[in-house]
Amino acid sequence: MNVDAQPIGQPPSLMVQIQNAPDLTTLDVLEIDVGSRHPDIQPKLMGCIRARRFELENGPDGDAQ
């Protein structure tokens, strides 16, 4: 049994949603959700927010688009 498998019908985790955010507006909404999470996990999630924001603003290769 794969303990990492997502239960059927459940939305992806917040971290997965952050990593797959299609645009900055969606990322802003997810950033608000981070504040409602346990304080111990917030720094990790915010790190993902910053990384994804950089990707969206500069492209996946770090080049400005």
pLDDT tens readout for residues 1-60: 555 665 678 888 999 999 999 999 999 999 999 999 999 999 999 999 999 999 999 986
pTM: 0.76
Per-residue pLDDT at 34: 97
Q: Is 13 exposed, middle or buried (0-12, 13-18, 19+ CB in 10 A)?
A: exposed
Q: Which two tokens stand for residue 55?
A: 């990707």
Q: Is 22 helix (H, G, I), strand (E, B) or coil?
A: coil
Query: Of the candidates 54, 57, 45, which has an alpha carbon nearest to the alpha carbon of residue 18?
Result: 45
Per-residue pLDDT at 63: 58
